[in-house]
């Protein structure tokens, strides 16, 4: 595929009809909460978009994010959109290796200076000068700083790149941090999730191609159109929560009837993501639909927010154990104060001048 | 600090601090009060079984003494509504039960969210009626001080923040939840040192009153 080929040409080459393409644009517009009048504009922008250069850096990660995006079942439009970007560097997917691979990255950076998109998955270790993860002898920290310089924008794919994720979990042995912790002078979009939903990342790419800028973001730098609402608020099991019908174990009657998984540890109420609406695998299902509580994977520090299998309101530490000595201390202090009061009372009694009727006669 | 980090702190270390102060403070105050004892009554008791009257009053004082009071019926009703409402909200809303279950090892069935929602609204209205009565009634107003208004505030604060969180009002849910849990922790920390201590001391004060009256042969 030539790098000058437009998206329309590329899609046509893959046998995508114009009708199918417009349908995709309409779906994208509705998912990003854009008015329908925007559909032609999206279509036009996407059709004429010259394959943007993308450099994809993988740091402390598990490749789950790449798997999620590239293994989305059958050749969907999302995967095609993803395919038509000019992925100039991605060390899991690219054919080149060794010096040739690094050369490809340097070449893309020079050729598309100020224009390329930088996608990052994985967190960046900064402890001990970042020695815990290196590529071609270069630490992740150095590579990120170098590659970010000429980027038009950065998309942090997955919770590790967005918030530090699993590597950052207590006690964080490698000093892992997120992309936004290091790069302060570039527009950054976080597409968190462990892994993130494929359509969300292509949605962000499409938005960038259509409007030439990144979508509106929330405080945690997530696109509002996908992360604006909580899983709980859009969950099809919500009526069971409101009626007080809960599965108590994974195989009880409530679980079989599809009742709310709140008591089994569902983090839906505090988690913002599009799972409940876009779902996974071409809208087939999502964790809650398949009977498992939401882990809260698109929220910062979800690894350290307590057990996955306890209600999110339940204290994440053993409160009773921590408080037991305090109770003993309280009882001791109460007795000590009580005794002090009694002594004061006895002293007052001893010092009291006894006054009788005899005294009045004087 | 992210919202989830804050949430993890208020649910963990924050809760330990609050429950620690609450339990220790309550124990200190109860033990101190009980050890003070009472003045010896040297007179001959008119009724030997006076303790029975003490226990009786602990329960009969739950009923409204309409005949003996000039408090308007609406204020009476409001204080019942808010006490019962508070009890239902704290002990029968499912997110709260999961906290108790974690703390004491067992739980109990919950009431539906829509019912707790209605109870919460009624409780908030009732608490404002009670406040209105405290301000508008000349005698009560004269007798009220910082302790009374502070106690009212720390009681309604968790109810309002909980209601806001449930309905996604004012702030995003997670932020409101942090404020809600902090407000509960403020309540826990303050409880032993304000008039809210009556949550525990009412049993003893009623028993004393009933017992003293019974001893003197007065039927309460």
Residue B66: per-residue pLDDT: 62
Q: What chain B residue is nearest to A230 in terms of C-alpha separation?
A: B173
Q: How far is CA A252 from CA A113, A114, A245, A285, B101, in A?
A: 58, 57, 12, 21, 19
What residues contact residue A210 under an 8 Å CB cut-off, 6+ apart?
A: A38, A41, A42, A45, A46
Residue A295: per-residue pLDDT: 95
Question: What are the start-end ranges of the H helices in chain B?
Answer: 3-11, 13-36, 50-60, 73-92, 94-104, 113-136, 138-143, 146-166, 173-190, 198-216
Listed as ranges, residues in chain A with pLDDT below 70 are 1-4, 71-84, 362
Chain B 57-96, CB below 8 Å of chain A: which residues?
A: 94-96
Chain B interface includes A115 (CB < 8 A): no
Distance between CA atoms of B131 and A124, rounded to whole angstroms? Answer: 55
The pLDDT tens digits for B103-118 are 888 999 999 999 999 9
Chain A interface includes B30 (CB < 8 A): yes
Residue B43: per-residue pLDDT: 82
Residue A210: per-residue pLDDT: 79
Chain B interface includes A330 (CB < 8 A): yes
On whether the CB atoms of residues A237 and A263 are closer than 8 A, the answer is no
Residue A99: per-residue pLDDT: 85
**CB contact (8 A) between residue B8 and residue A342:** no
What residues contact residue A75 under an 8 Å CB cut-off, 6+ apart?
A: A14
* Closest CA of chain B from A229, distance in Å: 10
Distance between CA atoms of A200 and A218, rounded to whole angstroms? Answer: 15
Per-10-residue mean pLDDT, chain B, length 220: 88 92 93 85 81 88 74 87 96 94 91 95 96 93 95 97 94 94 96 95 92 84
* Closest CA of chain A from B11, distance in Å: 5
What residues contact residue B68 under an 8 Å CB cut-off, 6+ apart?
A: none
Shortest CB distance from B32 goes to which of A315, A329, A337?
A337
Residue B148: per-residue pLDDT: 95
Coil, strand, or helix at residue B84?
helix
On whether the CB atoms of residues A64 and A195 are closer than 8 A, the answer is yes
Residues of B in contact with A338 (CB under 8 A): 31-32, 34-36
pTM, two decimal places: 0.85
Task: Name which of A240, A330, A336, A340 to mutate to probe chain B: the one with the most chain B Cβ atoms within 10 A of its Cβ.
Answer: A330
> With 0-12 CB in 10 A as exposed, 13-18 as middle and 19+ as buried, what is B140?
middle
Residues of A in contact with B16 (CB under 8 A): 315, 317, 319, 322-323
Chain A interface includes B173 (CB < 8 A): yes
Structure ipTM over 0.90, yes or no: no
């Amino acid at each position: 595929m030539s790098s000058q080929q437009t998206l329309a040409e590329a899609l046509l080459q893959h046998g995508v009809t114009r009708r199918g393409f417009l349908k995709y644009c309409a779906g994208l517009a509705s998912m990003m909460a854009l008015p329908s009048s925007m559909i032609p504009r999206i279509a036009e922008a996407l059709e004429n978009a010259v394959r943007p250069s993308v450099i994809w850096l993988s740091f402390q990660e598990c490749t789950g994010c790449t798997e999620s995006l590239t293994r989305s079942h059958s050749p969907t439009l999302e995967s095609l959109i993803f395919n038509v970007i000019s992925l100039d560097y991605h060390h899991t997917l690219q054919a080149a290796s060794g010096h040739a691979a690094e050369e490809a990255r340097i070449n893309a950076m020079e050729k598309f200076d100020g224009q390329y998109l930088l996608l990052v998955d994985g967190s960046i270790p900064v402890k001990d000068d970042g020695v815990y993860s290196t590529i071609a002898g270069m630490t992740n920290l150095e590579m990120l700083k170098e590659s970010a310089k000429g980027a038009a924008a950065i998309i942090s794919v997955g919770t590790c790149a967005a918030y530090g994720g699993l590597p950052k979990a207590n006690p964080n042995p490698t000093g892992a941090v997120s992309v936004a912790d290091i790069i302060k002078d570039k527009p950054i979009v976080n597409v968190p999730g462990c892994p993130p939903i494929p359509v969300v990342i292509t949605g962000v790419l499409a938005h960038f191609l259509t409007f030439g800028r990144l979508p509106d973001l929330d405080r945690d730098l997530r696109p509002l159109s996908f992360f604006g609402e909580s899983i709980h608020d859009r969950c099809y099991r919500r009526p069971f929560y409101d009626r007080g019908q809960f599965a108590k174990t994974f195989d009880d009657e409530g679980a079989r009837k599809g009742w709310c998984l709140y008591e089994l540890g569902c983090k839906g109420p505090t988690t913002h993501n599009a799972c409940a609406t876009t779902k996974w695998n071409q809208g087939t299902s999502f964790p809650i639909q398949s009977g498992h509580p939401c882990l809260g994977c698109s929220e910062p520090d979800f690894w350290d927010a307590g057990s996955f299998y306890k209600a999110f309101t339940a204290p994440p530490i053993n409160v009773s154990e921590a408080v037991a000595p305090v109770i003993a201390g309280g009882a001791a202090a109460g007795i000590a104060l009580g005794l002090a009061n009694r002594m004061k009372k006895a002293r007052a009694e001893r010092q009291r001048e006894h006054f009788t009727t005899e005294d009045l006669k004087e | 600090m992210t919202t989830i980090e804050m949430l993890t702190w208020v649910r963990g270390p924050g809760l330990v601090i609050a429950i620690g102060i609450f339990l220790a403070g309550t124990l200190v105050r109860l033990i101190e009060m009980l050890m003070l004892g009472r003045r010896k009554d040297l007179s001959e008791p008119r009724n030997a079984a006076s303790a029975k009257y003490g226990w009786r009053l602990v329960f009969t004082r739950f009923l409204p003494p309409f005949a003996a009071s000039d408090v308007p019926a609406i204020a009476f009703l409001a204080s019942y509504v808010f006490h019962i409402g508070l009890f239902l909200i704290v002990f029968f809303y499912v997110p709260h039960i999961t906290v108790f279950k974690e703390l004491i090892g067992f739980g109990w069935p919950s009431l539906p969210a829509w019912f707790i929602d209605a109870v919460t609204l009624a409780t908030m209205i009732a608490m404002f009626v009670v406040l209105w009565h405290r301000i508008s009634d000349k005698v009560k107003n004269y007798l009220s001080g910082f302790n009374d208004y502070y106690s009212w505030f720390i009681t309604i604060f968790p109810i309002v923040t909980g209601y806001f969180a449930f309905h996604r009002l004012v702030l995003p849910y997670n932020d409101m939840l942090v404020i809600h849990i902090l407000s509960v922790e403020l309540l826990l920390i303050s409880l032993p040192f304000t008039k809210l201590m009556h949550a525990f001391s009412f049993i003893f004060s009623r028993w004393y009153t009933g017992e003293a009256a019974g001893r003197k042969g007065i039927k309460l």
